């Protein structure tokens, strides 16, 4: 994937001020951002929602973000 995980962390915490307090909001932002990056890089075709969720789960595990 063209986007680095560090860019994702930056996107979550930078131009919007501090990180979103609600984990549901954070999960939504991660999902939307990831989907936009995949569309931009042409990696959407053939990717399923299950694969996308697995990538998001792996990111959350590495960054220790917690979701309800």
Angle, CA 36 vertex, CA 17 and CA 51 arms, to 5° = 110
Q: Could you report the per-residue pLDDT of 9-44, keeping only the tens digit for each?
A: 444 444 444 454 555 666 777 777 777 777 667 666
Q: How many angstroms separate the CA atoms of 8 and 64, rounded? A: 14
Secondary structure class of 25 (helix, strand, coil)? helix
pLDDT score recorded for residue 18: 47
pLDDT score recorded for residue 13: 46
Q: How many angstroms separate the CA atoms of 7 and 9, rounded? A: 5
Q: 7 pLDDT exceeds 60?
A: no
Q: What is the mean pLDDT of residues 41-65?
A: 70
Q: 50 pLDDT exceeds 50?
A: yes
Q: Smallest Cα–Cα separation from 23: which of 58, 60, 54, 53?
A: 60
Q: 2 pLDDT exceeds 50?
A: no
């Amino acid at each position: 994937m063209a986007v680095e995980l560090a860019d994702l962390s930056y996107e979550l915490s930078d131009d919007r001020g501090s990180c979103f307090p609600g984990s549901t909001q954070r999960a939504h932002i991660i999902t939307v951002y990831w989907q936009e990056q995949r569309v931009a890089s042409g990696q959407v075709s053939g990717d399923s929602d299950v694969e996308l969720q697995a990538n998001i789960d792996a990111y959350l595990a590495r960054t220790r973000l917690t979701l309800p």
